[in-house]
Amino acid sequence: MSTSTTPSDPEARPGAHPEASGERILGGLGTADPMSVAVRPSGVGVLDKATHILDCLEAGPASLAQLVEATGLARPTAHRLAVALTHHRLVARDVQGRFVLGPRLGELAAASGEDRLFAAAGPVLNQLRNATGESAQVYRRQGEWRICVASAERPIGLRDTIPVGTQLSMKAGSAAQVLIAWEDHHRLLEGLRQARFSATVLAAVRRRGWAQSVGERERGIASVSAPVRNPSGKVIAAVSISGPIERLSRQPGRMHSDVVCQAARQLSDALRAQA
C-alpha cells in the first residue's frame, strides 16, 4: 500500500514616488495627439483611461506631465490611475521617477504561453520521473506565488504529491530559488526578504545552473530544480523533482542535477521550436 505526502507549507494557499524633475519631452510623447493612441471606448470609462495610459507608455518612459499631455486626461486623474496601475505592477517607475510599463505585463504575457508549456512538459516530465524514480513538476511564477502547471507523479511508494494548480510560496524550495535567481537586482532583493535561502545560495544557483533544497519547503522533503527558458533566454519556469530525503539524500543535486538540467533544456528547446 502506497503512502503519499502533500505539501504542508504554511505559506501555500487551498494578493509615493516623487515625480522626476524636468519636463523634457522623450520619445515624442509630449507632442502626441491625445487621440493618437485612443481606441474605441468600451463603455467603462476608468478602464478606457487606464488602458490609454498603458498605450502611451508603450512608446517609452513618461513623466506625469507627459502622460497628461499625451492622454488629454486631467492631471489628478492621470496621477491617480498611474499610481493605481503601479500598485498592481502594470506600471513601474524608472530610476528617474518616470512611469514605465510594469513587470506584471511580462508575467501575463508569459502566462499566455502556459498551454504550450503544459503541452511540451508532459513527455519531458514522464521521462524525468522514469529516469529518477521521483515525482516531477514544472512551476511558473505568478506574482508572489509559484504555480505547479504540470506534474508526473511517482506511481507507488512514498512520494511528494503536488497536484497541478497548487500554489506554493516563493520563499522556500529549489524551484523558488530558480525562479528568483535570474530576476533583476530589485526583484531578487525583494525575493530574499523572509526567504529560507540566502543571496549566497542564489549566487551558487546562477553559477552552476541548478538548485537544491533539503527540508526547506517541507520537513522530510528534498528537491532539485533547473531553469526553463523562453526563446529569448529569459527564465520563465522551473523543472523539479521532489521526494523524501531518505531517497534523495541531503545532497540531491549530486544524484540528479544532470538529468534535471537535461529535462529543463529539452523543455526549453521544445518551447523554442514552437515559437
Q: How far apart are CA 7 and CA 160, in angstroms?
A: 7
| DSSP characters over 230-258 | -TTS-EEEEEEEEEEHHHH-S-HHHHHHH
Q: pLDDT-based confidence at 29, cuts 50/70/90?
A: very low
What are 187-231's pLDDT values in tens digits? 899 999 999 999 999 999 999 999 999 999 999 999 999 999 988
Instruction: Identify the residue whose cell numbers are 523558488.
Output: 176
3-state secondary structure 61-83: CECHHHHHHHHCCCHHHHHHHHH
**Locate cell 542564489: which residue?**
202
Q: What is the pLDDT of residue 123?
A: 93
Return all residues near 55 (Cβ < 8 A) that are at least 6 apart: 37, 38, 39
pLDDT digits (tens, 9 = 90+) for 97-144: 999 998 888 777 666 555 678 888 999 999 999 999 999 999 999 888
Please say whether the beta carbons of 20 and 96 come within 8 A: yes
Q: Which residues lie closer than 8 Å to 223 by C-beta, 6 or more apart?
A: 160, 173, 174, 175, 212, 213, 217, 240, 241, 242, 243, 248, 252
Q: Residue 231 has what pLDDT? A: 86
Say if CB 242 and CB 135 are below 8 A apart.
yes
- Report the 10 Å Cβ neighbour count for 118: 14
| pLDDT > 90? residue 65 | yes
Q: pLDDT value at position 110?
A: 63
pTM of the model: 0.62
Domains and their CATH numbers in the chain: 29-102 (1.10.10.10), 113-274 (3.30.450.40)
Cα dist. 37→24, 78, 79, 167 in Å?
Answer: 21, 15, 18, 38
| Distance, CA of 202 to CA of 112 (rounded, Å) | 28
